[in-house]
A and B are shown apart, each in its own frame.
Chain A
Amino acid sequence: MDFVIQSLVIGLTENAPLVLAAIGFALLYRLTGLINVAYSETITLGAYFGMWINTTYGLDFYTVLVPAGLLAGLVSVASYLLVFRAAKQRGVGVLELIVISFGLSIFLRHGLQFVFGYPVRFYDVPPPDTIMVLGVGVTSFRLLALVSVAVLALLLYLFIQRSILGLKIRALASDEDLAQVSGIRPLAVTTLIWFIAGVAGGLAGAFYGVGSNVAPLLGWRQFLLILMVALVGGSWGLGGVILVGVGTSVALAAMALQFDQVLYAQLVLIVAFVAVLKVRGRRLTETAKV
């Protein structure tokens, strides 16, 4: 029982940013059909922006979250307007789009080092309090991360599913021509999607960063897991992503406790997710035109 509680608490608090990042990524994937490898740099840049504002202006972590998220959102929008929109207008295919996003990811990951420097950076924050949750010690940052992620996930879910703007977003995702005829402005709505996804990623990055350190590979290290959670969970909508994300978080913690090696946990998850995709993949032959 101890083991279960520990896994739950540690899993949810330590990996809450994963769920938030997965939601942002899945939003982009489901609504634009694009796998954006550079999304991992939105996460990394969120961490860097937060750290930079924190260390330059001496603001505390909770305050820097907002600008960190907003700046990351702007980077996301910029990448859409400058790169992906241009690509789409030139009729670039699915495969090439992924490679382009890969190139952008590499470019940002290394380019940022000319701005923020090469060494690993740290948030300048006082050591967080440790709070006991169900008998497990959790830092206040991690708890905040969990609460924020839960609130943001809920807000996003409600926004996409219930609001009029959310309806427009979903309409645009399913049929762009029809949406346009119905008076939805694709550019405005798509930009909004990219912005929201960017904010989600940036906030996730800030939470990751404050908990350990800020390094160029911060986002990339999480990318595979985010990708798998979004692809597997995404077929059941945003709710599915949240569920699979939470399940993955808990599984990660449980296995890390069991194997005493967090990398093995990742390995097991990779195998599991690939197996799920393989089994599901067989159903993709419906749209043959031959």
Chain B
Amino acid sequence: MVADAVDAVAVTRPRIRVQGAVKSFSGRVVVNVDDLVLGDRPIEGLIGPNGAGKTTLMRMIMHSTPLDRGEISLLPVDGRDVVLSSLPAHRIARHGVVKSNQVVMDFDKLTIWDSLLLAVAEARYEQPHRIFSERAVFERHEDEIRHYLAYFGFADPAAFAMSAGEKKLLDIVRCLLLRPTVLLLDEPTAGLPEDLTERLMDVVRDLAAGGTSVVIVEHDLNVIWSLCDVVTFMAEGSVLLKGAPQTIRENRTVVEKYLGHGHV
């Protein structure tokens, strides 16, 4: 893990830039982020107390929540900047920006096979006249799907995901199958057993090493400290601090507002 956060960035990475982004619900400002760039370092953490606006910010990046003001852009490795906040929600994933969900989100009627085949199926096969394309889609993607099924221990892909943990994991695997350039994970380890958390962290490290920028929102701070190169601290809708994990950990404001003195 890179300990020194002042290292010059050797490789350009895909980044997300948040500028002047503001969102209010019922008159209360929930997010107010002036200037934030995510993705300079391979794995970044986003922490803060409940109600800090972390999930709302993630949703604003995915444009599933519209912004009241401001702009959020994707700065890809090559090619022009893409203003995500001006795109409809379904285009965000097409640019490689993908998010897993904090609250368990699942398709009740779809099995695990279904869920994953849905994620990987190319748009040209999902048309009213393509009623014989199942075999083609399956054969193209069977290997990568089976890899994840085995890696995370899904015993029966023809069954439905039952427990909350299974559904959470399924959500994450769907994201992985989308081959993201920017991966946002919103509390991915909540509800996961220890061994699966380890496996997830290994996958995240591999992805990041391969060029994907990963941003993790977490309350499990062991995950944050062990995985992240840079940590951003949010509270009451704004970014208060950003820096190396050790710096964040020791900062008085962070300790007071969030960690409590037992963490230092």
Contact = CB atoms under 8 A, between A and B. Distances in A.
Most buried by A among B59, B62, B64: B64
B101 interface: yes
**Interface of chain B, helix or strand or loop or mixed?**
loop
B118 to A, nearest CB: 15
Contacts of B101: 289-290
B63 to A, nearest CB: 9
B66 A289 contact: no
B103 interface: yes
Interface string A268-290: 00000000000000000110111
Interface in B56-115: 59, 62, 64-66, 89, 99, 101, 103, 105
Nearest to B103: A289
The number of chain A residues touching the other chain, given as a range, is under 10
A241 B101 CA distance: 39
A111 to B, nearest CB: 35
Contacts of A290: 59, 62, 64, 89, 99, 101, 105
A96 to B, nearest CB: 15
A286 B65 CA distance: 6
Contacts of B64: 285, 288, 290
A289 B59 CA distance: 8
A290 B89 CA distance: 10
A290 B62 CA distance: 9
A174 B59 CA distance: 26
Contacts of B62: 290
B259 to A, nearest CB: 28
B67 to A, nearest CB: 12
B174 to A, nearest CB: 12
Nearest to B58: A290
Contacts of A286: 65-66
Contacts of A288: 59, 64-65, 89
Interface in A100-146: none
A288 B92 CA distance: 15
Contacts of B103: 289
Interface in A231-290: 285-286, 288-290
B114 to A, nearest CB: 18
A254 B89 CA distance: 43
Nearest to A288: B64
Contacts of A285: 64, 66, 89
Contacts of B105: 289-290
Contacts of B59: 288, 290
Contacts of B65: 286, 288
B105 to A, nearest CB: 6
A286 B66 CA distance: 7
A286 B63 CA distance: 10
A290 to B, nearest CB: 5
Nearest to A290: B64
Contacts of B66: 285-286
A290 B66 CA distance: 12
A289 B65 CA distance: 9
B73 to A, nearest CB: 20
Interface string B209-241: 000000000000000000000000000000000
A113 B66 CA distance: 52
A289 B64 CA distance: 8
A282 to B, nearest CB: 10
Interface of B: 59, 62, 64-66, 89, 99, 101, 103, 105
Interface of A: 285-286, 288-290
Given A289-B103, A290-B105, 17 more contacts: A285-B64, A285-B66, A285-B89, A286-B65, A286-B66, A288-B59, A288-B64, A288-B65, A288-B89, A289-B101, A289-B105, A290-B59, A290-B62, A290-B64, A290-B89, A290-B99, A290-B101
7 tightest A-B CB contacts, nearest first? A288-B64, A290-B64, A288-B65, A289-B103, A290-B105, A290-B101, A288-B59
13 contacts: A285-B64, A285-B66, A285-B89, A286-B65, A288-B59, A288-B65, A289-B101, A289-B103, A289-B105, A290-B59, A290-B62, A290-B101, A290-B105
